[in-house]
């Protein structure tokens, strides 16, 4: 038996011995996943699964061991992923720490920042949020106005961030601030790490049309952030911002994958639409389901290739805009099709006449309307693809 096959066998046996049975069930929605954090409270099996995987470094399998990772090479990490998939084991931990700020710190962070922040991320102790967008700086991110002024060993930060996903649950924020208003706007930005318990930080959830509140407004009133929490160079934050956006766009496309078991669209069609000769009678609906399945499979395979490349040490490039654009567009198409299949039963909000799954259809469709805006609009992604991937002129 060669080394990799031995690693595969040992990994399989370890997973069988340590993964709770309840963690071998499919994830239905994003909130089923373990996001970690100081204030998180999870069922015993979720916490046990997180702890045993973190102790082995397998919440971040390719990170170096000195930063709390598993130290696996590309081939070993792929085997771990494959064996977890075979057993249907859930990821022990997700979140912006693992997928966004962690990879950026590995690439660009100082040794002190890596040692302070990466191990708690791997153990699921700290939940992160992102402070990029502002009321006047969303699509034009470089136009941000939240400012930071040096005062002794600290920056004093004042301003407002908006559309801050899960800011009300996060322990730390990575944010962009203006540190020099007298230069070209991209040249006067700094990338900071901020403890959300710092005096002067306040958060207000934003109620969405779907009835949920994953987004927040975050107000910063003379918040002191140690100068030691700068990632990269002062006034060099724009390069950090772009590097992190590559990780974010890949993550967003991955989040919007349909994680339900089997073929939910087909099951939905069998429930609400007439069948003929053991298949859905409506040929247009059959065609739409098949096309969407093929598109989702293509996106999934392309994402896996990109993730393998990043695990091998390659930095994400502008091609990640394709993932963000296609992932969100595919999710919006999926929600549209589900509503079309359910017909009038997909139009409920509350009350009698609709079961829980039908009410979820309506709210999920409404939530999906924001997919083409959050994390950079579809128009911005298409511009990046045109200019930086395809090389088209302005």
Q: Which residues are catalytic?
A: 248
Among 99, 97, 96, 70, which Cα is nearest to 84's? Answer: 70
| H or E segment to which residue 231 belongs | strand 230-231
User: Rounded to the nearest 5°, which phi and psi values hold at 139?
Assistant: -65, -40
SS3 content of the chain, % helix, strand, coil (to 5): 50, 15, 35
Q: How far apart are the first and last CA of the chain?
A: 56
Closest CA to 78 of 387, 377, 311: 311
Contacts of 298 by beta carbon, 8 Å cutoff, 6+ apart: none
**DSSP for 355-380, written as a single string:** -HHHHHHHHHHHHHTTTTTTTS-HHH
How many residues are present in the chain?
Answer: 394
Residue burial 279-315, b: 16+ Cβ < 10 Å; e: rest? ebebeebeebbeebeeebeebeeebeebbeebbeeee
DSSP state, 278? Answer: T
Q: What residue has token string 């589900």?
A: 338
How far is residue 87's CA from residue 64's CA, in Å, rounded to a whole number? 26
Tokens found for residue 251: 């993550």
């Amino acid at each position: 038996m060669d080394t990799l096959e031995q690693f595969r066998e040992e990994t399989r046996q370890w997973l069988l011995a340590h993964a709770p049975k309840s963690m071998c069930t499919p994830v239905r929605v994003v909130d089923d996943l373990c996001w970690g954090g100081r204030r998180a409270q999870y069922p015993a099996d979720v916490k046990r699964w997180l702890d045993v995987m973190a102790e082995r470094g397998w919440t971040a399998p390719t990170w170096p061991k000195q930063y709390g990772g598993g130290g696996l090479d590309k081939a070993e990490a792929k085997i771990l992923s494959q064996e977890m998939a075979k057993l249907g084991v859930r990821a022990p931990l997700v979140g912006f720490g693992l997928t966004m700020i962690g990879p950026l710190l590995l690439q660009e962070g100082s040794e002190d920042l890596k040692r302070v922040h990466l191990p708690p991320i791997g153990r699921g102790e700290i939940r992160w949020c992102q402070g990029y967008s502002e009321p006047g700086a969303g699509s034009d991110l470089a136009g941000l106005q939240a400012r930071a002024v040096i005062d002794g060993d600290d920056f004093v930060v004042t301003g407002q961030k908006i559309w801050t996903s899960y800011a009300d649950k996060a322990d730390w924020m990575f944010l962009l601030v203006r540190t020099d208003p007298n230069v070209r706007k991209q040249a006067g930005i700094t990338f900071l790490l901020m403890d959300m318990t710092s005096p002067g930080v306040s958060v207000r959830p934003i109620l969405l049309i779907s009835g949920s509140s994953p987004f927040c407004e975050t107000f910063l009133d003379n918040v002191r952030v140690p100068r030691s929490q700068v990632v990269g160079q002062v006034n060099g934050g724009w390069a950090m911002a772009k590097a992190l956006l590559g990780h974010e766009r890949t993550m967003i496309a991955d989040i919007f994958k349909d994680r339900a078991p089997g073929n939910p669209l087909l099951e939905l069609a069998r429930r609400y639409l007439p069948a003929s000769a053991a298949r859905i009678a409506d040929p247009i609906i059959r065609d739409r389901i098949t096309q969407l399945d093929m598109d989702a499979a293509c996106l999934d395979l392309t994402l896996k290739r990109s993730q393998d490349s990043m695990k091998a040490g390659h930095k994400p490039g502008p091609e990640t805009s394709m993932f963000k654009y296609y992932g969100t567009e595919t999710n919006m198409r999926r929600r549209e099709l589900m509503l079309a299949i359910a017909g009038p039963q997909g139009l409920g909000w509350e009350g009698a006449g609709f079961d829980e799954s039908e009410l979820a259809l309506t709210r999920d469709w409404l939530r999906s309307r924001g997919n083409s805006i959050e994390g950079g609009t579809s128009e911005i992604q298409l511009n990046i693809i045109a200019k930086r991937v395809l090389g088209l002129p302005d």
